[in-house]
Amino acid sequence: MPRPLDIACLQTRPRPDFRSALDEALPLAEAAVQAGADFLFLPEYCGGLASRGSALAPPFAAEAAHPVLAEMQAFAARRQVWMMLGSLAVEGPAGKIVNRGYVLDDQGRVRSRYDKIHLFDVKLSEQEIYRESATVAPGGQAVLIDTPFGRIGHTICYDLRFPQLFRDLAKAGAEIICVPAAFTRRTGEAHWHVLNRARAIENGVFIVSPCAVGEVPGGGETYGHSLVVSPWGEVIADGGTLPGVVQATIDLDRVAATRARVPSLSHDRPYTLATPANRSVA
């Protein structure tokens, strides 16, 4: 029997403060619900994003007092819809923040939290340098959430480049793995589509990747092209380069069917690495 799920990625622009972030996201969320979406997915730093030099400087608050989390919980309860908040900046340890994703159920309750593990510390050019670790403390735990629709795995943005995390989530039963992102335009043009398709194909999972689009206040630009990718690697939906709602209906039974066709998750084998220092010569 098919297990259809109507999903929507909200392709929002980076906004510099809580209020403008909410004003950006809530109308799109309402439009998606009116169009029949059962589960809404928002990008990384959907509660606000700005930059200061090479460091990210999103607006942040303690979780218990976070206005974006509170308003999104109220929306989910009022409209009876599940939501993944790709991430919010939340007060963390040692004067830093954590880049934390949430799943809210249709009563507005927080059902899971995930703190981004892999931080975006890269030098793309002399002018384009990012040091997420300057202001963000990394997480250390992979997270799965059971929902009425299926099992979902959290990741965030730069995690996309670390395939073992996706492998572990898939082997633990994930049928959807989410990649909320604020991917840079430069790296997005080069790698976004191929990496999302690769993670889907390698693991026989749906990849749902809401990505922010447009300029970041303070410097930088996000790529957009929010994606929904099938377990076979087909791009079901692509959000392009404008803000909006990216909606698709997926059939979660395709996960088991795809894994039956190519059962690579059960074919992993242990091995050793032969380096020049320990390689035996026949």
Structure confidence at residue 85 as a pLDDT band (50, 70, 90): very high
Q: Does 280 score more than 70 pLDDT?
A: no
- Segment 40-63 shows an average pLDDT of 94
Select which of 24, 46, 132, 157 is catalytic: 157
Q: Which CATH number covers residue 50?
A: 3.60.110.10
- Here the contacts of 264-271 (C-beta below 8 Å, separation 24 or greater) are 264/202, 264/204, 265/167, 265/170, 265/171, 265/203, 265/204, 268/167
First CA to last CA distance, the chain: 54
Share above pLDDT 70 across residues of the chain, in percent, rounded to a whole number: 98
Select which of 9, 116, 132, 175 is catalytic: 116
Q: Is residue 171, in this structure, part of any structural domain at all?
A: yes
- Segment 185-199 shows an average pLDDT of 97
- Segment 142-160 shows an average pLDDT of 98
Share above pLDDT 90 across residues of the chain, in percent, rounded to a whole number: 90
Number of structural domains in the chain = 1
- Which two structure tokens, joined as six digits, stand for 196? 């999302």
Beta strand 82-91 with 39-41 is parallel
Beta strand 144-146 with 129-131 is unpaired
Structure confidence at residue 55 as a pLDDT band (50, 70, 90): confident
The pLDDT value given to residue 125: 84
Q: Say whether 123 is catalytic.
A: no
Please report the sign of the dihedral spanned by the C-alpha atoms of residue 90, residue 138, residue 156, residue 216. Answer: positive
Q: Say whether 63 is catalytic.
A: no
- Segment 132-138 shows an average pLDDT of 94
Per the prediction, the chain carries an average pLDDT of 96
The pLDDT value given to residue 130: 85
Select which of 44, 132, 175, 221 is catalytic: 44
- Which two structure tokens, joined as six digits, stand for 2? 């098919």
- Which residues lie closer than 8 Å to 139 by C-beta, 6 or more apart? 98, 99, 100, 114, 115, 116, 117
Structure confidence at residue 116 as a pLDDT band (50, 70, 90): very high
- Segment 229-253 shows an average pLDDT of 98
> Which structural domain, as residue segments, surrounds residue 40?
4-263
The pLDDT value given to residue 124: 84
In whole angstroms, what is the distance from residue 214 CA to residue 68 CA? 20
Q: Is residue 247, in this structure, part of any structural domain at all?
A: yes
Q: What is the DSSP letter of 148?
A: S
Q: Is residue 277, in this structure, part of any structural domain at all?
A: no
Structure confidence at residue 1 as a pLDDT band (50, 70, 90): low
The pLDDT value given to residue 205: 98
- Segment 242-248 shows an average pLDDT of 98
Q: Is residue 115, in this structure, part of any structural domain at all?
A: yes
Query: What's the pLDDT tens digit per position in 156-175?
Result: 999 999 999 999 999 999 99
The pLDDT value given to residue 69: 98
Q: Is residue 270, in this structure, part of any structural domain at all?
A: no
Q: Is residue 257, in this structure, part of any structural domain at all?
A: yes
Q: Is residue 249, in this structure, part of any structural domain at all?
A: yes
Structure confidence at residue 123 as a pLDDT band (50, 70, 90): confident
The pLDDT value given to residue 54: 78
Q: Does 128 score more than 90 pLDDT?
A: no
Q: Say whether 96 is catalytic.
A: no
- Segment 90-101 shows an average pLDDT of 96
Q: Side chain identity at 241, as an amino acid letter? A: T
